[in-house]
């Protein structure tokens, strides 16, 4: 289980999980008074902005490294109405869903590795940059029927030495948000070698991919 840093304020407590951070920069760019770079001591100051603004910022943190607890109890983050998986250009799969990743606590936002290089699998740790992972986030749209339900639990099973098996209502989207596929089951490549990205095509066997 990873270490989560806690920063308690008057109206909101902010949690930061450094192992999940992919350095998207949303926090330091949006609320630099709260998420302060190059300071001595605690770098997160929850009382330097409204709880509403901090909540909105956390909802935009793709990796889920930033989460929060509002002290007014009816204002906690809720799962989305539509479970989304965005395929990020040269990067991970960004989930926004009522998410149950095997061996992990319940999540709403998470970035899962799709290049195979992360040392923190199934989560992305930014190693795709070092690994020179090159893969578009734009793919052909699959013909799918509209689904009556878009929400509910989305379970991700980590197949050994193989893909992420996702089961539940989901929309797979391009990195720019174009809907590619509405489905209830998808095996998503996490070795980086599939010729049918973002889906697994069995190439993990040929490259000897291991998940450790």
Q: Which residues bind ligand FES (CB under 6 A)?
A: 162-163, 189-191, 193-194, 200-204
For the bound state, the minimum distance from the C-beta of residue 101 to ligand FES, rounded and expressed in Å, comes to 16
Would you say 69 and 15 are in contact if contact means Cβ atoms under 8 Å apart? yes
Closest to 109 (Cα-Cα) out of 76, 77, 75: 77
- Residue carrying the six token digits 């923190």: 120
For the bound state, the minimum distance from the C-beta of residue 27 to ligand FES, rounded and expressed in Å, comes to 31
Q: Which is nearer to ligand FES, 60 or 210 (CB)?
A: 210
Q: Which is nearer to ligand FES, 57 or 189 (CB)?
A: 189
Q: How far apart are CA 152 and CA 80, in angstroms?
A: 9
Neighbours of 142 (CB within 10 A): 13
Structure tokens at 105: 């606590």
Q: Which is nearer to ligand FES, 20 or 204 (CB)?
A: 204
Structure tokens at 39: 């300071």
Would you say 101 and 110 are in contact if contact means Cβ atoms under 8 Å apart? yes
For the bound state, the minimum distance from the C-beta of residue 164 to ligand FES, rounded and expressed in Å, comes to 8
Would you say 122 and 113 are in contact if contact means Cβ atoms under 8 Å apart? yes
Q: Which is nearer to ligand FES, 5 or 196 (CB)?
A: 196
Q: Which is nearer to ligand FES, 109 or 190 (CB)?
A: 190
Tell me the CA distances in angstroms from 207 to 119, 151, 161, 184, one per residue in order. 18, 35, 10, 28
For the bound state, the minimum distance from the C-beta of residue 49 to ligand FES, rounded and expressed in Å, comes to 41
Q: Which is nearer to ligand FES, 141 or 207 (CB)?
A: 207
For the bound state, the minimum distance from the C-beta of residue 197 to ligand FES, rounded and expressed in Å, comes to 8
For the bound state, the minimum distance from the C-beta of residue 1 to ligand FES, rounded and expressed in Å, comes to 25
Residue 197: what are its φ and ψ, rounded to 5°? -55, 145
């Amino acid at each position: 289980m990873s270490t989560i840093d806690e920063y308690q304020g008057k109206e909101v407590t902010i949690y930061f999980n450094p192992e999940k951070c992919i350095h998207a920069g949303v926090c330091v760019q949006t609320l630099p008074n709260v998420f302060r770079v190059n300071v001595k001591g605690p770098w997160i100051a929850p009382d330097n902005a409204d709880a509403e603004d901090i909540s909105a910022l956390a909802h935009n943190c793709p990796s889920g490294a930033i989460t929060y607890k509002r002290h007014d109890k009816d204002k906690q983050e809720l799962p989305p109405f539509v479970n989304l998986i965005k395929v990020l250009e040269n990067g991970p799969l960004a989930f926004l869903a009522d998410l149950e990743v095997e061996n992990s606590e319940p999540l709403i936002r998470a970035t899962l590795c799709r290049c195979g290089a992360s040392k923190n699998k199934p989560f992305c740790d930014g190693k795709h940059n070092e690994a020179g992972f090159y893969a578009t986030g734009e793919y052909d749209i699959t013909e799918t029927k509209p689904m009556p339900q878009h929400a509910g639990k989305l379970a991700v099973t980590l197949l050994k030495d193989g893909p992420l098996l996702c089961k539940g209502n989901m929309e797979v989207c391009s990195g720019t948000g174009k809907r590619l596929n509405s489905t209830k089951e998808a095996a998503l490549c996490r070795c980086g070698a599939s010729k049918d990205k973002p889906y697994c095509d069995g190439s993990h066997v040929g490259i000897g991919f291991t998940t450790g």
